[in-house]
Amino acid sequence: MSQSLVSQIERGVQNPAVISVDRFYRLLRALEWTPEEFAEATGLELPGVTREPKAEDLGMPVEVYTLPLIQAGAGPPWYQDEAETITLALPELRYPKDKLFVVRIVGDSMSPYLENGDLAVVYQDPGLAAKGKAVAVWLADDGVVIKRFLGETEDGLLYLGNDNPAHPPFLAPPGSRIVGVVVKRVKEG
């Protein structure tokens, strides 16, 4: 693909949806995007490619949230003043903002539900944890992670699962606890 054509696409002179299929896929390879990511990023409708509708597309109210952010496996700074924050425009959530925090996913253990780099918005209410729900867990030896709640042993150990079959279910170490439930997923980018 020529630099001239790329420049024309960037300036809006050339619509990428009307270039040849071969050139379009070369463009996607150069951008390291899938057709779905292209449709999502540009808002262009591509035949056979669907994008997840945004709240504003569906007429849903959108609210801006500035929430504490942690990396999966990190400590619990959601209650600390110096916590890193992230600002997200999301459909209006029915949870109090002061009880929400965000976990940036690291790794592939919860794939395809959550991929590396995705965000999980967590509501701090361990009482909402139910079998099969995605929960934020303070692992005594590993910080906060997102896992599936599978149950609890008689002696109070948490039995947790992963969505990726390459990562088997496990018992959380003693002292681990559920800190909340995932109420919203935000895909990377």
pLDDT at residue number 47: 58
* The predicted structure's pLDDT at residue 142: 75
What sign results for the dihedral spanned by CA atoms 39, 43, 46, 51?
positive
The gap between the terminal CA atoms of the chain, to the nearest Å, is 25
Beta-bridged to residue 144, according to DSSP, are 138
DSSP class of 27: H
> What pLDDT score was predicted for residue 26?
73
- Quote the pLDDT of residue 60: 55
Looking at residue 122, its pLDDT comes to 93
> Is the peptide bond preceding residue 112 cis, with omega within 30 degrees of 0?
yes
Give pLDDT, residue 55.
47
> ∠ CA 149-150-152 to the nearest 5 degrees?
95
Tokens of 34: 């899938």
Give the chain's domains with CATH numbers: 3-51 (no CATH), 58-186 (2.10.109.10)
Q: What is the pLDDT of residue 49?
A: 56
Average pLDDT per run of 10 along the chain, which is 189 residues long? 72 69 71 69 60 51 83 63 78 85 92 91 90 91 88 93 92 93 84
pTM for the model stands at 0.66
Predicted local distance difference test score (pLDDT) of residue 123: 93
